[in-house]
Amino acid sequence: MRRKKKQLQSVYKVDPWRIIETEFNPQTNFLSETVFSLGNGNVGIRGSFEEGYDGPAGTSMEGTYLNGFFEKVPIHYDETAYGYATHTETMLNLPNGKRIQLQLEDEVFSLFTGTIEKYQRELDLQQGILRRYTRWVSPKGKIVDIEVERMVSFAEEGLVLIRYAVTPINFNGTIQIISMLDGHVHNQTAENDPRIGTSLTGQTLKLEKLEQQDDISKLLQVTTFSKLQVLSCMQHLIEAGQCSDRINRVHGQMLEQRYLFSAKQGERISLTKSVLYLRSDRTPSERLWETADAIFETVNQQGWAHYHLMQRQVLDDFWMHCDVDIAGNQQLQQGLRFNLFHLFQSAGRDGISNIAAKGLTGEGYQGHYFWDSEIYIIPFFIFTQPWIARKLLEYRYSTLDQARRRAQTLFRRKGALYPWRTITGVECSSYYPAGTAQYHINADIVHAIRQYEMATGDWEFIRDYGAEIIFETARIWLYIGAFNNDHTERFCIYTVTGPDEYTALVNNNFYTNAMAKSHLNYAAALAEKMALDDSEAFERIRQKIELSTEEIRQWQAAANAMHLPKDEKKGIHPQDDSFLDKPVWPFDSTPETHYPLLLHYHPLDIYRHQVCKQADVVLALYLLHDQFSREEKKANLDYYEQVTTHDSSLSRCIFSIISAETGDLENAFSHFMETARLDLDNLQGNAHHGIHTASMAGTWLSLVSGFAGMRIGESGIRFSPQIPAALEGYSFRIKYRGNCIKIEVAEKEISMKLLEGDGLTLYYGNQPVHLFPDQPLHLPREEG
């Protein structure tokens, strides 16, 4: 279903390494807060102004988050049933530590009074710094230059640093810098948008203790239900200027430290504010206070410059392993780097947190982790920062017991069923037709584990974590599937929902069945392999989870008999048993304003039609790429393209990949362009509520798996690069089995260079290529 393209009208200046805003505009402020968000996988803060915001309602949302720091909220059902998720977990909006008010004599600085003479804001993707420069003329005529730099430290996981500098241009007088830590916070709610939570209202953080001493303020709060503590602190260091007085104040849970400067015309005043967030689910409750003191002490000693340097080092390493270069399209170049940077900012690295649908930039989807991680985001990390991929997968292991309990509740049997959406591992989906019914989550997680193992060869991970997950999750397929009654000996899976959420509770969803088959095959093969190669580890797991040989035999039998429906006449795989029977959605009579359909039509109305929100069969074609011929892929792509709205941001990148693979580079590029700057240009229309992490990773997949045709399998890694007409060429980097390879695709040739590692064999198309250190290869390019 090809809808009219949206016009790309970017708010930001095009630049290869920076996102630049050259004027302040309340109309785009909400979006900019998301775009200029900073994070380090633990802390995330939205790009709102230090000085607060006095603009129109609905054009701003303050936000400070800790990955996985949540409140537990009971889910209310008007009509409830057995096994429903009982509670949801909501990532909390935490105390705002970035607040700084500026006062010139008796005038308070605001972007909405006086005159803004100069303004620039930029996010530096190489340095991990957000900078803002403003020249402001107050209503009474005082002129100041305000320079602010901000970072969320990649070196110290709880730390936010702000350097706030003011220079009076045409006056002497008292300048006050009023720094605040505002503990009066609550989450947003939206009753009419299913993508935003509705359950948590009002302030849930209760004051436990607060303290102000010298230049430091500390605020200890605890959540009402989940009983997690967060210690928010701020410390101030005057770097330039004459401080004449300091006044500390407390208003409820708002802590204020006011610095008075005797300012002189042309002389810069500068103060560094360190904000620290510590949490009782990482640091033991009784050690929060002293840990904060120790970190602040270090910050005092090391200063801004040290953390700035560390920031640069971490990002140098990051870009070294993942940078992409797009020849001939600076917009795309900027969009892709922006996406990768935000992925890096969003991913949890501690093995007990993950990556939320909106990263740490907003409250949409309540900060929950979805299959987005395994199918869209982890692949990016597997091939660029495998250590992060491993941490994200370890997270799933850390919640395996929750998944076991869920299986016990639902089936009263052994095994593990992962939740559709969660923070701590408990099912938080209150709408089971597009939640619990998406059993494919089990196969998705296993798919990512397998990809990780193939790309890294990290057997230790499989042995210590992966195998247990793979076996426990495999069990579920035998509970929800059954050999058909019609004596055809097919193994069928009834009443499930596949990835496409515009179709629910169907039988033999193709994606689910195909992924389950792959999962069961892998589980059975792994059991066999482990029993031979690592029998001690296998025996340990076997005993722990009471795994019988008969079970493994059943897995193999079910995989062998798995029903994978095919419509021979159309030459395609029906999305499910009844999908092709249903009438096609009346696209012609659906006004453009009625998309996304989910906001304008009842689920039943959507479900009873052939209409897809996102890639479903097409996703299977990609993930299980070696099981389908090019002709099959083309036929399916062509069919599903006609009935897919791409209302989900997880859709276009997959269609782009299969379009590229089947030779329709124009369509591939079109989808790619719609996602590459999805959040930067707010193409989905809701980026102000936070970034779309899966789509961001999807653009990387579109490039690397799409245009460059990267695929991995047991036999190795393969590339089949193509260049869409609109581009001159591109390059990217890949980490594979200890090697880091830079691949440049140009019109006439493809170059490969080893940046790290001892060398490897890879496939260029079907041709094996040996790559050695310091011996770049230049191969003539064979198109298509």
User: Which positions are annotated as active-site residues?
Assistant: 501
Please, what is the minimum distance in Å from the beta carbon of residue 292 to its own copies?
A: 35
- 492 is an interface residue for its own copies by CB under 8 A: yes
Q: Which residues contact 562 (CB under 8 A, 6 or more apart)?
A: 490, 491, 513, 514, 516, 517, 520
Task: Specify the residue for token string 């030459």.
Answer: 571
Residue 436 token pair: 């619990």
- 187 is an interface residue for its own copies by CB under 8 A: no
Please, what is the minimum distance in Å from the beta carbon of residue 505 to its own copies?
A: 5
Site pattern 603..642 for its own copies (x: CB under 8 A): xxx-xx----------------------------------
Quote the radius of gyration of the chain (alpha carbons, Å): 27
Q: Which helix (H) or strand (E) holds 145?
A: strand 143-152
- 28 is an interface residue for its own copies by CB under 8 A: no
**Which CB sits closer to its own copies, 220 or 441?**
441
Burial 74-85 (b: 16+ CB within 10 A, else e): eeeeeeeeeebb
Q: Which residues contact 683 (CB under 8 A, 6 or more apart)?
A: 6, 8, 674, 675, 677
- 732 is an interface residue for its own copies by CB under 8 A: no
Amino acid at 246: R
Considering CB under 8 A, how many residues would be counted as binding its own copies? 54
- 79 is an interface residue for its own copies by CB under 8 A: yes
- Out of 7, 485, 543, 593, which residue is the one contacting its own copies (CB under 8 A)? 485
Cβ atoms of residues 153 and 272 within 8 Å = no
Residue 174 exposed, middle or buried by CB count within 10 Å (0-12, 13-18, 19+):
middle
- 194 is an interface residue for its own copies by CB under 8 A: yes
- 577 is an interface residue for its own copies by CB under 8 A: yes
- Out of 81, 305, 532, 725, which residue is the one contacting its own copies (CB under 8 A)? 81
- 601 is an interface residue for its own copies by CB under 8 A: yes
Residue 201 token pair: 């209202």
- Out of 58, 202, 284, 583, which residue is the one contacting its own copies (CB under 8 A)? 583
Residue 667 token pair: 């369509």
- 592 is an interface residue for its own copies by CB under 8 A: no
Site pattern 427..466 for its own copies (x: CB under 8 A): --xxxxx--xx-----------------------------
- Out of 57, 58, 78, 784, which residue is the one contacting its own copies (CB under 8 A)? 78
Cβ atoms of residues 496 and 573 within 8 Å = no
- Out of 115, 242, 313, 495, which residue is the one contacting its own copies (CB under 8 A)? 495
Please, what is the minimum distance in Å from the beta carbon of residue 77 to its own copies?
A: 7
Please, what is the minimum distance in Å from the beta carbon of residue 63 to its own copies?
A: 21
- 82 is an interface residue for its own copies by CB under 8 A: yes
**Which CB sits closer to its own copies, 85 or 454?**
85
Task: Specify the residue for token string 């805003």.
Answer: 21
- Out of 7, 57, 191, 202, which residue is the one contacting its own copies (CB under 8 A)? 191
Q: How many CB atoms lie within 10 A of CB 701?
A: 24
- 505 is an interface residue for its own copies by CB under 8 A: yes
Alpha helices in 624-747 (DSSP H): 630-643, 652-661, 665-676, 693-701
Site pattern 383..422 for its own copies (x: CB under 8 A): --------------------------xxx-----------
- 77 is an interface residue for its own copies by CB under 8 A: yes
Q: Which residues contact 589 (CB under 8 A, 6 or more apart)?
A: none
- 80 is an interface residue for its own copies by CB under 8 A: yes
**Which CB sits closer to its own copies, 602 or 770?**
602
Sheet of 100-104, strands arranged across: 107-108, 100-104, 173-182, 254-263, 243-251
- 147 is an interface residue for its own copies by CB under 8 A: no
What one-character-per-residue DSSP string does 470-513 give? Answer: HHHHHHHHHHHEEE-TTSS--EEE-SB--S-TTS-SBSS-HHHH
Cα–Cα dist 611/587, whole Å: 9
Cα–Cα dist 554/92, whole Å: 44
Q: How many CB atoms lie within 10 A of CB 157?
A: 22
**Which CB sits closer to its own copies, 118 or 600?**
600
The Cα-based distances of 171 to 30, 267, 531, 663 in angstroms read 34, 10, 80, 66
Site pattern 537..566 for its own copies (x: CB under 8 A): ------------------------------
Query: Which residues contact its own copies by CB under 8 A?
Result: 75-84, 88, 191-192, 194, 197-199, 409-411, 429-433, 436-437, 480, 482, 484-486, 492, 494-495, 504-505, 507, 577-578, 580-583, 598-605, 607-608
